């Protein structure tokens, strides 16, 4: 089955700096890669996703890149703000697999003011 590894497990940055979180996946048939943000005590919220036919996608301060050959994808947050502090999860999904996603273990991002 699919295996998703996420690094780093914790990340601390100064407000205004950039943050990068990286994930690798094992199943070359995976074709959809969402990122979720989870605040304390809440359910994860989808913040951005990328499909296998696209190499990069950007939404304001958030961007995701995908390298299908190397089987890795990354989340980039620029101009970080204290409200970006949360746990971030990457996931990989194979389109024919009943919508099931395999998740990374999460990255706890702390943005210091």
Q: Which is nearer to other proteins, 18 or 46 (CB)?
A: 46
Number of CB atoms found within 10 A of residue 67's CB: 11
Tokens matching residue 61: 């301060």
* Binding flag, residue 40, other proteins (CB under 8 A): no
Pairing of strands 107-112, 10-14: parallel
* Binding flag, residue 96, other proteins (CB under 8 A): yes
* Binding flag, residue 51, other proteins (CB under 8 A): yes
Residue 92 to residue 75: CA distance in whole angstroms: 13
* Binding flag, residue 101, other proteins (CB under 8 A): yes
Q: Which is nearer to other proteins, 74 or 107 (CB)?
A: 107
User: Are residues 72 and 24 in contact, defined by beta-carbon separation less than 8 angstroms?
Assistant: yes
* Minimum distance of other proteins from residue 79's CB (angstroms): 26
């Amino acid at each position: 089955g699919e295996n998703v590894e996420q690094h780093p497990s914790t990340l601390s940055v100064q407000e205004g700096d950039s943050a990068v979180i990286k994930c690798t996946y094992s199943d070359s048939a995976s074709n959809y890669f969402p990122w979720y943000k989870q605040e304390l005590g809440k359910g994860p919220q989808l913040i951005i996703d990328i499909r296998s036919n696209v190499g990069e996608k950007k939404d304001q301060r958030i961007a995701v890149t995908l390298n299908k050959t190397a089987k890795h994808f990354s989340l980039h947050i620029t101009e970080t703000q204290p409200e970006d502090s949360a746990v971030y999860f990457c996931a990989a999904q194979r389109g024919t697999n009943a919508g099931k996603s395999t998740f990374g273990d999460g990255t706890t991002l702390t943005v210091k003011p």
